[in-house]
Amino acid sequence: MTVLRQKMADALQLAGMSERTQQCYLREVGLVAKFHAKPPDQLTQEDLRAYLLHRKNVAHLAPASMRICYAGIKFFYRNVVVRDWPILDLIRGEHEHKLPVVLSVEEVHRIIESTTTFHNRVYFATLYSCGLRLHEGLNLQVADIHTDRSMLHVHRGKGATDRMVPLPNRTLSLLREYWCVFRSNRPPNPEQIGRVIRDKAAGGRSEATLELFS
């Protein structure tokens, strides 16, 4: 890790950014440096303008990806290598206003039943029944399961916030069975998530993603 990258990583931690956000922001600054083949502290405002227009008009990044791109670059040039550039105030990410695609109960059941391994089935069932996001399910541990209250402790969810969610008895039974088989403190780690959802379970619907579970 370069000195400049470490400096940004330290600033991100001090700003209280989640680990995932830190990785995204570091990646965005790395991409702009790679695009111009020189360190980000040597870039000019015109270099940055050319890069952002390329990402928007040539690479055709989705609005959500452009927002991450803008946020990472703004953080770097306002907190790590400080630049008083008007373009930093100019750039704004577009916000889409789309209704989410909602899978039916039958489609969700097909997703769970189409898994070929037991640990994948337990993972999907836990996500759906408890309303968890992908990373929340991956980070669960045995200590997070409160059997006496039938609750699940979710750590560092959206906005780095903890919360408690109801744990259905059927899901608890599945998790107990998983533990008896694998004796693992970690939850099942799913394989080829996108393929399972789109190709096998959701009838090839390209818009179907894991976020539709929660």
Domains of the chain (ranges, CATH numbers)? 3-90 (1.10.150.130), 105-213 (1.10.443.10)
Exposure string of 143-162, with b = 16+ CB inside 10 Å and e = fewer, is ebbeeeeebbebeebeeeee
With cut-offs at 50, 70 and 90, classify the pLDDT of residue 200: very low
C-alpha span between 152 and 167 (Å, rounded): 6
Q: Give yes or no for residue 74 having a pLDDT over 80.
A: yes
With cut-offs at 50, 70 and 90, classify the pLDDT of residue 185: low
- Model pLDDT for residues 80-135, shown as the tens digit of each residue: 999 999 999 998 877 666 666 677 788 878 878 877 788 888 888 888 888 888 77
Closest by Cα among 20, 18, 211 to 133: 211
Number of residues written out for the chain: 214
State the residue for tokens 């001090």. Answer: 14
Contact residues for 98 (Cβ-Cβ < 8 A; gap 6+): none
With cut-offs at 50, 70 and 90, classify the pLDDT of residue 210: very low
- Residue 198: how many other CB atoms lie within 10 Å: 17
Assign 89 to helix, strand or coil: helix
With cut-offs at 50, 70 and 90, classify the pLDDT of residue 206: very low
This prediction's pTM: 0.59
Out of 17-21, 71-75, 117-121, the most confident range is 71-75
Q: What is the DSSP string of 95-161?
A: ----PPP---HHHHHHHHHT-SSHHHHHHHHHHHHHT--HHHHHT--GGGEETTTTEEEE-S-GGG-
C-alpha span between 176 and 51 (Å, rounded): 51
